[in-house]
Amino acid sequence: MVIKLLLDKDCISRLGSLRNDGEEVMNCSYFDPIMWEALMAKQVRAPFIPSPDDTREEDSEGGIVTPHDSMSQISPTAQKAFRGFDEFPENS
């Protein structure tokens, strides 16, 4: 449910898009287990630390680069879940 709230195309009803911005997201019950102050103070251990032997390519921001030809096709069923979402708002 929180994903739908975060991905809502309507900026008025989208979680975290108005006055309280990030605080609204942080106060969402889904994120209750997160200790925000400790996280911001970098006192929380990362859930995954890659091995130095990891040979995957990274982009300039540290993200993993996946070659286009190795990407699998998204099934029509999975595509339906994202119908209506696009990169740019309709009224921009």
Q: Which pLDDT belongs to residue 69?
A: 42
Q: Which pLDDT belongs to residue 38?
A: 94
Sign of CA dihedral 13, 16, 21, 24: positive
Q: Which pLDDT belongs to residue 63?
A: 64
* 85 neighbors 7 (Cβ within 8 angstroms): yes
Write down the domain spans for the chain.
1-46
Distance, CA of 35 to CA of 90 (rounded, Å): 36
For the chain (92 residues), the mean pLDDT of every run of 10, in chain order, is 88 86 90 92 83 63 56 70 65 50
* 15 neighbors 22 (Cβ within 8 angstroms): no
Contacts 24+ apart (CB under 8 A), 82-87: 84/9, 85/7, 85/9
